Amino acid sequence: MDEAPTPGLNIAVLVKHVPDAQFDRHLNGPRNTTERSESILSELDEYALEAALQLVEQHGGDAAGHRVTAVTMGPGPAVSAVKKALQMGAAEGVHLTDDALAGSDASATSRALAALLSHLGPFDLVLTGMASTDGETSLVPAQLAERLDLPQVTFAAALELEAAEAGWTLTARRDGDAYSETIACALPALVSVTDQINEPRYPNFKGIMAAKKKPLRTLSLSDIGLAADEVGFAGSWTAVEAAEPRPPRSQGIVITDEGDAGLRLVDFLAGQKLL
Amino acid sequence: MPTVLVFLHDPGAVLAKNDRELLTLAGTLGDPVAAVAGDAGDPLLDGLGSYGVSTCYLPADPSVGKSLVAGKAAFLAEAVRASGASVVLLGNAYEAKEIAARAGVRLESGVITDVVAVADDLTATKSVFAGSYTSQCRVTTGIPILAVKPNSIEAADAGQPATPETVRVEVPAPAAAAVITGRVDKPATGRPDLAEARVIVAGGRGVDGNFAPLEELADLLGGAVGASRAATDAGWIEHSAQIGQTGKTVSPQLYISAGISGAVQQKAGMQTSQVIVAINKDPDSPVFEIADFGVVGDLFTVLPQAAEEIRKRRA
């Protein structure tokens, strides 16, 4: 790959600590918030981190002055998402934590993250996963782009950077149902990536040991110039008034094929008026 | 009556099924108006009019429809201001949600996604954790922007044809936006879109690369063909057919699962289907726990037998 003729890339990767989707997940408490025990680094954020690491490696690595910072916001244990990112290869970690953040919806979350990134940056590239695996709204990356006035390239299934005199340009591929698109923009930009973009690496022993020596900063709202009522329940534009688990599906009939299962299947469909 | 703005983020030549659902919902909540992110020909305008739309807002520069998200979001915000709408309804596809997200920031308004019902007082019912919870949400600041899942509302029949008034709104150019530099169309399958299909036949690892029996049954039932992540990762079918946590979330009337074990990641995408039929060789497959009708057997004998029986009964 070419030596980078431009200054090093400053990349932020947003990571989130989410309830493990392999287990039952719950909303609880008086304000129907997410139960966050049994949490892990959101699987979808690993693709964003891997994409950042690969871009850096393709363009001269740390030696070229590139830097990947893993950023999260959330209660104390959320820092483990950043630690996992440091083990995978991020150079630096930042954890925004404050009791006032609890209950933030997408608008309050994007406000907090925008203030955090402005405080830490400027960044050439902000990378995120395609959605969190808990809230699943996919709103935060777009709102962050709007607040930071960045072009957004979401759901990238492939990503390339090219260094030119005028600065870095980014090319991405997005795969839709009916067509595949090529998207281009100049940096700075916000990019979200899908789970098709790469195969995230596992942290190896060396990476786990090295992570312990990497800088990891903890910031509070006052550090980034936000008031408590701009985030959390108070700063949110939506509220959850009630939540209940969907009644479990009752188990139906299970038959073993004795040569006529196809016919019995059609009988069942006819009985349900589905033919 | 409040003005309800229906936003067509990706307009076709005529109204799509999801558009008709949104317009039906809008009619129950107030007086519908529409904003179309691009150009609207007479067939589309007449369709809007037949659902009671009095005014259709269009961008002064229709190329806003070709830009990525930022331009369409700016147009939506301007259309809301121009119409004085007190609630916005749009689809729940990824691009629609992103437009909602950015317009929400511009209008300082709350956004609720994955909505399956809206009450008269604008309380939205949404599905959470891939359908394992249902919550009641309200927008507490600004003009509610609600992204409604397809198949949530039964679209009413169109009324008398009418032509709405069209109003062009100026859209400020976004400071920085990404541009689409190329587009490759995928071959059309002739089957319905997964998100909107009433019947889906989906295959997993057990299909072993051969989707033919699934396609045959799907075509007989007028359905779409989906897949588990194992099948898309194996390259047997396009990634866009993936149903599950990292693919599409679907709620068809009938979901036929063939050769899919039904692990959490797959269940997340289909457990809100109305009727689930499962075929798998392994009697311990988790999919049988949520199936209304399960067959422990070989999909390569069961599906063709069912297809033949359907043909026979229809003959």
DSSP output for A58-74: HTTTGGGT-EEEEEEES
Q: How far is A215 from chain B (nearest CA, A)?
A: 32
Quote the pLDDT of residue B128.
Answer: 77
Question: What rounded mean pLDDT belongs to chain A?
Answer: 87
Question: Which B positions 52-71 lie with beta carbon below 8 A of chain A?
Answer: 68-70
Q: What is the pLDDT of residue A28?
A: 64
Query: What CA–CA distance (Å, rounded) separates B305 from B44?
Result: 43
Q: Which residues pair with A183 in a beta bridge?
A: A172, B180
Q: Is the pLDDT of residue B117 over 90?
A: yes
- pLDDT given for residue A23 in this prediction: 55
* Chain B: residue whose CA lies nearest to A247: B132
Say if the Cβ atoms of A237 and B141 lie within 8 Å.
yes
Q: For residue A21, which residues of chain B lie inside 8 Å, CB to CB?
A: 130, 245, 264-265, 268
Q: Which positions 48-77 of A are in contact with B (Cβ < 8 Å)?
A: none
- A117-150 pLDDT, tens per residue? 999 989 999 999 887 555 556 789 999 999 999 9
- B interface test, pick of A126, A130, A137, A197 with most B CB neighbours within 10 Å: A137
Q: Do the Cβ atoms of A138 and A130 come closer than 8 Å? A: yes
**Between residues B55 and B193, the one the model is more confident about:** B55
Please tell me the predicted confidence (pLDDT) of residue A24: 62
Has residue A21 got a pLDDT over 80?
A: no
ipTM entry: 0.82
Q: What is the pLDDT of residue A26?
A: 62
Residue of A nearest to B276 (CA): A252
pLDDT of residue A273: 87
Q: Give the residue on A whose Cα is nearest the Cα of B264.
A: A22
Given CB atoms, is B181 within the 8 Å cutoff of chain A? yes
pLDDT, average across residues B126-147? 87
Task: Please tell me which residue, A57 or A136, carries the higher pLDDT value.
Answer: A57
Q: What is the mean pLDDT of residues A214-228?
A: 96
**Contact B184/A at CB under 8 A:** yes
Confidence (pLDDT) at A3: 47
Alpha-carbon distances, residue B241 vs A43, B247, B289 (angstroms): 20, 8, 24
Name the DSSP letter for residue A102.
Answer: T
pLDDT band, residue B176 (cuts 50/70/90):
confident
User: What whole-number distance in Å separates Cα of residue B47 and Cα of residue B245?
Assistant: 35
Mean pLDDT of chain B: 91
Neighbours of B275 (CB within 10 A): 18
Parallel/antiparallel/unpaired status of strands A152-156 and A189-193: parallel
**Residue of B305, B312, B314 for testing the chain A interface, max A β-carbons within 10 Å:** B305
Contact with chain A for residue B81, Cβ under 8 A: no
Question: Cis peptide leading into B286, omega within 30 of 0?
Answer: no
Q: What SS3 class is residue B201?
A: strand
* B180/A contact by beta carbon, under 8 A: yes
Q: Does pLDDT of B43 surpass 60?
A: yes
**Chain A: nearest CA to B196, how far in angstroms?**
12
| H or E stretch at B55 | strand B55-59
Chain A residues in contact with B214 (beta carbon < 8 A): none
Q: How far is CA B138 from CA A135, A164, A236, A241, B144, in A?
A: 16, 48, 11, 7, 8
Q: Does A269 touch chain B (CB under 8 A)?
A: yes
| Residues A189 and A170 sit within 8 Å (Cβ to Cβ) | yes
Average pLDDT over residues B106-124: 94
Q: Tens digits of per-residue pLDDT, A245-273? A: 877 777 789 999 999 999 999 999 999 88
Higher pLDDT, B266 or A111: A111
Contact A138 B283 (CB under 8 A): no
- Model pLDDT, residue A135: 54
- Are the CB atoms for A268 and B293 separated by under 8 Å? yes
Q: Which residue of B has its CA nearest to A18?
A: B129
Which amino acid makes up residue A35? E
Quote the CA–CA distance of B37 and B91 in Å, as a whole number.
13
Distance from CA of A246 to the nearest CA of B (A): 5
**Across B101-124, average pLDDT:** 94
Would you call B185 and A178 a contact, using CB atoms and an 8 Å cutoff?
Answer: yes
CB within 8 Å: A261 and B297? yes
Residues in chain B with CB shorter than 8 Å from the CB of A239 are 137-138, 140
Instruction: Looking at B157-298, list the stretches that DSSP marks H as alpha helix, in order from N- to C-terminal side.
Output: 212-220, 229-233, 264-270
Q: Count Cβ neighbours within 10 Å for each residue of A143-178 and write b for 16 or more, e otherwise.
A: bbbbbbebbbbbbbbbbebebeeeebebbbbbbbee
The lowest-confidence range among A4-8, A118-122, B13-17, B279-283 is A4-8
A36 in reach of chain B (CB within 8 A)? no
Average pLDDT of A25-33? 64
* Residue B272, pLDDT above cutoff 90: no
Contacts of B131 (CB under 8 A, 6+ apart): A246, B249, B251, B268, B271, B272
Choosing among B92, B199, B295, which should be mutated to test the A contact, i.e. which has the most A CBs within 10 A?
B295
* CA dist., res. B88 & res. B6, Å (int): 6
Whether the CB of B134 is below 8 Å from some CB of chain A: the reply is yes
Out of B178, B254, B293, closest to residue A185 by CB:
B178
Residue A206 burial (CB < 10 Å; 0-12/13-18/19+)?
Answer: exposed
What pLDDT is attached to residue B21?
95
CB contact under 8 A, A143 and B101: yes
% of residues, chain B, pLDDT over 70: 97
Mean pLDDT of A157-179: 89
The structure tokens listed for B92 are 């729940």
Residues of B in contact with A143 (CB under 8 A): 101-102, 104-105
Residue B254 is encoded by which pair of tokens?
């009938």
| pLDDT, tens only, A80-97 | 899 999 999 999 999 999
Q: Give dist(CA B315, CA B105) in Å, integer.
A: 57
Listed by number, the residues of chain B in 235-254 with a beta carbon closer than 8 Å to a beta carbon of chain A are 239-240, 245-246, 253-254
Helix, strand or coil for residue B302? helix
Q: Does A1 touch chain B (CB under 8 A)?
A: no
* Residue B234 clears pLDDT 90, i.e. is over it: yes
Give the three-class secondary structure for B107. helix
Whether the upstream peptide bond of residue A215 has omega within 30° of 0, thus cis, is: no
Q: Residue B230 and residue B228: Cα distance in Å, rounded?
A: 5
Looking at beta carbons, which residues of chain B come within 8 Å of A268?
277, 292-293
What pLDDT, on a 0 to 100 scale, did the predictor assign at position A4? 44
In a mutagenesis test of the B interface, which of A18, A238, A244, A268 is the best target, namely the one with the most B β-carbons within 10 Å? Answer: A238
Confidence at residue A5, expressed as pLDDT on a 0 to 100 scale: 47
Average the pLDDT over A15-37 and give the result.
65
